[in-house]
């Protein structure tokens, strides 16, 4: 009896490819995706399938001393940082001017790739390692959109300070010691001088032992240089101490919103399969309604439902979690993105429904596709913690484009730009999502031929 | 002639479903389209409904081609009542009627007038605002029927309109259909309920292996197939003492069978022979030839699937 039950269940499973995929393939795919994400982070990308994301940092050197230059070199030597002191030189053009503080602030505020800028103030070199009379602190300009990057850079600044000028640290440390504890003897001074000679960084080396991989040792040192952190959005309307939390709300409102929109749209698209099973589809197609009109009618209806779904979620986010929805730029941008995203997601739901032959098949297939796209596109895990190559994979997902658009609206919106300029910045995402809509609708129309005249 | 299917051919992946079927319906006629499972009657009906494109042959409704351009417009004179309960269970009866009325081109006041008529006609007016999923099978059948005739079609295709309902609902549905016929509609009925088809239809077409193999009134079909002879079955009080008196008649114990071409003339002689055999007639049945007999005569007794 038991053998028969097992045999029958096996036969049913092996003939249901979707169930087979859900049982065996989906766990492997998901494991692989998360392994890529977190494996890439943990090992610095060295043994992962691609390099880890390097955080691009704009550096403004107002000090322009040997110590500040050595500080910048030490930062540039950190594997996880990509240091830019000026815009890239365009071929045939003279080199760009070094960044000013305001330019660095704009970069952080409006460009995803620059989550942090470092400003080395004038007088930094003179007060470096002067523990008795510390000077101006280094300023770290950061975007709350990426809550990880600035903390990492703050730690690496301490490591860089140690690596940049250990000889000066020693000299000024001894000076402080003499000021408070009395002068050294000649023999003691001789030892200190020999030690300083050994500590002067030589070209091609990054630190005291010439090994650039000592981030972990020096990253833990704090207080060697003073660092002030400044939220570049703090002066924006609505900006307050809740900035970081609010930004993550924006991220997840967009990320989760897009993912669940896809789920609800494929669920809605499944009503076509219900109609087929019930016989009402046949009956409707026997009347005046053509297949094209039937699909378009469903597409528009589902899209309106989707717009309401996201709209209600954003309003809730604004009311309860302080999502910055009601600023003109954000409001107009979120309306545009919601309309376009819902139109596209509705078409996606319909194309899957026309592709599948049963509700069960649709449920299985849509779950696989949506979860994969959500994982790759950033709906589940923020893309800034993923390895760099996953930015490219996100470009192949619906979620990736929709999320990029929403992030432009809620994160990277330049408050000084007008509504029209803010909307124009969404052109790539809107264009791609509309193109996807057209492709989905054409594919749905082609797949729906099976419901037409046999 | 309001509907004509001529030389219809259709194959699915090399398997023929229709191989030259031809049949037609006169104005105001009620036609039964009969055949074993897989004979091709559903394909024929779906070709008329526009859900199947014929490989060869033609379908004309009121003189207009239903397989070519403009078929959708011509099909407005057609009503389709599918075997499935093709209504929305999560809508009310009124909402279903409004939806299918609009799908079939009704709008405005005519739509609402027809919906009110349909609710009265089906006896659902009192429960028009209830969700259909709470209806009995008979009520859903009546609604299914109403959704197909709301737009006053001249020709109505009915696929097993009474399947799965109790005798009372069945009786009501036949009365409703007879009313439509009285109002001038032509009906095409496909069913396996041969006794019902025999009692309500004016003419019968039998399809088998994708072809029409017989058509005519019941009397014509009987005459051309099993013949008009009646079967007489007698039950005796005891086996006959002298069976030789019943020569030419099938006699098994107390039961006697005989086929009589003319009951009025020949029955008296049969009863006299039974009396002469020494037995007395306890019961007597005279059976006229049925559509069932004609059907089996034409299509055989072999299982088809």
Express each pLDDT in A67-86 by its tens digit.
Answer: 888 889 888 988 888 899 88
Whether A330 and A210 map to the same domain: the answer is no
Is B261 in the same domain as B118?
Answer: no
Distance CA B83, CA B191 (A): 10
CA distance A55 to A45: 13
Q: How near does any CA of chain B get to the CA of A451, in Å?
A: 9
Mean pLDDT rounded to a whole number for chain B: 91
Which CATH number does the domain housing residue B236 bear?
Answer: 3.30.70
Mapping DSSP onto H, E and C, the string for A45-68 reads CCCCCCCCCCEEEEEEECCCCHHH
Query: Quick check: B86 and A283 CB within 8 A?
Result: yes
Cα torsion A349, A355, A360, A361: sign: negative
Domain presence at residue B304: no
- Pair (B55, B129) in one structural domain: yes
Asked whether the beta carbons of residue A453 and residue B72 sit closer than 8 angstroms, the reply is no
Inter-chain touch B49–A286, beta carbons under 8 Å: yes
Instruction: Say what the pLDDT of residue A339 is.
Output: 97
| B50 three-class SS | coil
* Residue A325 covered by a domain: yes
| Same domain flag for A214 and A291 | no
Residues A315 and A367 in one domain: yes
CA angle A324, A403, A301 (to 5 degrees): 90
Interchain pair B86, A287: CB under 8 A: no
Q: Are residues A405 and A293 in the same domain?
A: yes
Q: Is the domain of B195 the same as that of B283?
A: no
pLDDT of residue A238: 46
In contact, B233 and B287? CB cutoff 8 Å: yes
Q: Which residue has the tokens 């299509």?
A: B299
Q: Check whether residue A148 and residue A213 sit in a common domain.
A: yes
How many angstroms separate the Cα of A168 from the Cα of each of A61, A66, A129, A175, B188? 19, 11, 8, 10, 104
Q: What does the pLDDT read at residue A205?
A: 42
Q: Are residues B35 and B102 in the same domain?
A: yes
- Counting the structural domains of chain A, the total is 2
Asked if B82 and A289 come within 8 Å (Cβ–Cβ), the reply is no
Whole domain around residue A354: which residue ranges? 239-451
Query: Do A325 and A444 fall into the same domain?
Result: yes
Position B299 scores a pLDDT of: 87
pLDDT score for A412: 76
> To which residue do tokens 């059948």 refer?
B141
Last residue of a domain, one of A231, A248, A277: A231
Question: Domain check: are B182 and B244 in the same one?
Answer: no
Tell me which residue of A116, A119, A121, A134 sits closest to A224, measured CA to CA: A134
The Cβ of residue A219 has, within 10 Å, a number of other Cβ atoms equal to 19
Query: Which residue of A278, A280, A286 is in closest CB contact with B51?
Result: A286
Please check whether residues B183 and B97 belong to one and the same domain.
yes
User: Does the beta carbon of A17 lie under 8 angstroms from any beta carbon of chain B?
Assistant: no
Show which of A188, A213, A231 is a domain's final residue. Answer: A231
Confirm whether B301 is domain-assigned. Answer: no
Helices A291-321, A243-269: axis angle to 10 degrees equals 160
Residue A323 exposed, middle or buried by CB count within 10 Å (0-12, 13-18, 19+) = buried
- Nearest residue of B to residue A287, measured between CA atoms: B104
**Chain B closest CA to A357's CA: distance in Å?**
18
* Claim to verify: residue A207 and residue A261 sit in the same structural domain: no
- Predicted pLDDT at A60: 93
Q: With the CA atoms of A239, A244, A246 and A248 taken in that order, what torsion angle do they form, in degrees rounded to the nearest 10? A: 150
CB-CB: which of A278, A279, A453 is closest to B50?
A453
B224: left (phi over 0), alpha (psi -120 to 50) or beta: alpha
A420 plus A272 within the same structural domain: yes
CATH of residue B122: 3.40.50.300
CB contact under 8 A, B12 and A454: yes
Q: What is the pLDDT of residue A7?
A: 56
Q: Which domain holds residue B239?
A: 230-288
Low-confidence ranges of chain B (pLDDT < 70): 304-305
B263 located within any domain: yes
Same domain for B206 and B91? yes
Residues B114 and B23 in one domain: yes
Residue pLDDT, tens place only, B122-177? 999 999 999 999 999 999 999 999 999 999 999 999 998 988 888 888 899 999 99
Q: Is residue A178, in this structure, part of any structural domain at all?
A: no
Residue B294 falls inside a structural domain: no
Domain count, chain B: 2
Residue A268 lies in a domain: yes
pLDDT < 50 positions in chain A: 1-2, 40-50, 203-222, 237-245
Query: Do residues B133 and B17 share a domain?
Result: yes
Q: What integer pLDDT is reported at residue A20 of this predicted model?
A: 63
B243 and B106, same structural domain? no
User: pLDDT digit string (tens) for B71-98?
Assistant: 888 888 999 999 889 999 988 999 999 9
Asked if residue A227 and residue A93 are part of one domain, the reply reads yes
């Amino acid at each position: 009896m038991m053998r028969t039950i097992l045999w029958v269940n096996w036969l049913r499973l092996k003939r249901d490819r979707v169930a087979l995929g859900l049982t065996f393939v989906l766990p492997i795919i998901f494991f692989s995706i998360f392994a890529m994400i977190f494996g890439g982070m943990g090992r610095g990308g060295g043994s992962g399938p691609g390099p880890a994301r390097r955080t691009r940092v704009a550096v403004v050197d107002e000090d322009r001393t040997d110590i500040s230059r050595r500080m910048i070199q030490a930062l540039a030597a950190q594997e996880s940082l990509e240091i830019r002191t000026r815009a890239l030189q365009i071929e045939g053009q003279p080199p760009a001017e070094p960044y000013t503080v305001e330019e660095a602030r704009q970069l952080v505020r409006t460009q995803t790739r620059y989550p942090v800028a470092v400003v080395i103030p004038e007088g930094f070199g003179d007060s470096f390692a002067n523990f008795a009379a510390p000077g101006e602190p280094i300023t770290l300009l950061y975007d709350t959109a990426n809550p990880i990057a600035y903390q990492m850079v703050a730690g690496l600044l301490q490591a860089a300070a140690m690596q940049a000028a250990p000889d000066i640290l020693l000299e000024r440390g001894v000076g402080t010691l003499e000021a408070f504890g009395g002068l050294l003897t000649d023999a003691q001074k001789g030892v200190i001088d020999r030690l300083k000679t050994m500590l002067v960084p030589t070209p091609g080396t990054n630190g005291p032992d010439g090994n650039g991989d000592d981030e972990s040792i020096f990253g833990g040192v704090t207080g060697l240089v003073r660092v002030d952190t400044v939220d570049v959005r703090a002066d924006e309307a609505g900006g307050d101490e809740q900035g970081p939390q609010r930004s993550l709300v924006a991220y997840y409102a967009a990320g989760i919103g897009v993912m669940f929109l896809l789920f609800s749209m494929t669920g809605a698209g499944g009503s076509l399969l219900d109609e087929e099973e019930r016989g009402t589809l046949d009956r409707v197609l026997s009347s005046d309604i053509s297949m094209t009109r039937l699909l378009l009618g469903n597409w528009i209806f589902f899209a309106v439902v989707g717009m309401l779904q996201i709209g209600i979620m954003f309003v809730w986010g604004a009311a309860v979690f302080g999502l910055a929805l009601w600023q003109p730029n954000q409001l107009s941008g979120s309306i545009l993105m919601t309309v376009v995203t819902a139109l596209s997601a509705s078409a996606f739901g319909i194309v899957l429904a026309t592709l599948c032959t049963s509700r069960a098949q649709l449920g299985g297939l849509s779950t696989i596709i949506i979860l994969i796209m959500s994982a790759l596109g950033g709906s589940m895990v923020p893309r800034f913690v993923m390895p760099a190559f996953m930015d490219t994979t996100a470009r192949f997902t619906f979620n990736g484009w929709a999320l990029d658009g929403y992030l432009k609206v809620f994160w990277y919106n330049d408050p000084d730009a007008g509504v029209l300029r803010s909307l124009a910045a969404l052109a790539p995402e809107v264009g791609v999502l509309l193109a996807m809509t057209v492709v989905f609708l054409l594919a749905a129309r082609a797949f729906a031929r099976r419901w037409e005249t046999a | 002639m309001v509907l004509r299917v001529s030389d219809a051919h259709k194959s699915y992946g090399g398997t023929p479903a229709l191989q030259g079927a031809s049949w037609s319906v006169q104005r105001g006629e009620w036609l039964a389209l009969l055949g074993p499972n897989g004979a091709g009657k559903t394909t024929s009906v779906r070709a008329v409904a526009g859900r199947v494109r014929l490989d060869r042959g033609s379908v004309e409704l009121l003189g207009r081609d239903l397989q070519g351009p403009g078929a959708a417009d011509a099909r407005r004179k057609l009503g389709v009542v599918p075997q499935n309960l093709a209504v929305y269970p999560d809508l009310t009866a009124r909402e279903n009627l409004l939806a299918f009325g609009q799908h079939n081109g009704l709008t405005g006041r005519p739509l609402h007038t027809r919906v009110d008529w349909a609710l009265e006609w089906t006896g659902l007016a009192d429960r028009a605002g209830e969700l259909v999923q709470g209806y009995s099978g008979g009520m859903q059948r009546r609604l299914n029927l109403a959704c197909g005739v709301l737009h006053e079609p001249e020709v109505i295709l009915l696929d097993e309109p009474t399947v799965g309902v109790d005798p009372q609902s069945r009786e009501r549905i036949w009365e409703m259909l007879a009313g439509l016929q009285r109002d001038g509609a032509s009906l095409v009925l496909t069913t396996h309920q041969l006794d019902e088809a025999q009692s309500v239809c004016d003419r019968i077409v039998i399809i088998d292996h994708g072809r029409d193999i017989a058509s005519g009134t019941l009397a014509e079909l009987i005459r051309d197939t099993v013949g008009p002879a009646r079967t007489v079955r007698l039950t005796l009080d005891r086996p006959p003492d002298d069976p030789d008196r019943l020569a030419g008649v099938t006699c098994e114990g107390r039961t006697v069978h005989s086929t009589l071409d003319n009951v009025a003339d020949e029955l008296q002689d049969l009863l006299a022979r039974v009396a002469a055999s020494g037995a007395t007639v306890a019961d007597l049945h005279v059976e006229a030839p049925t559509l069932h007999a004609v059907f089996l005569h034409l299509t055989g007794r072999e299982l088809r699937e």
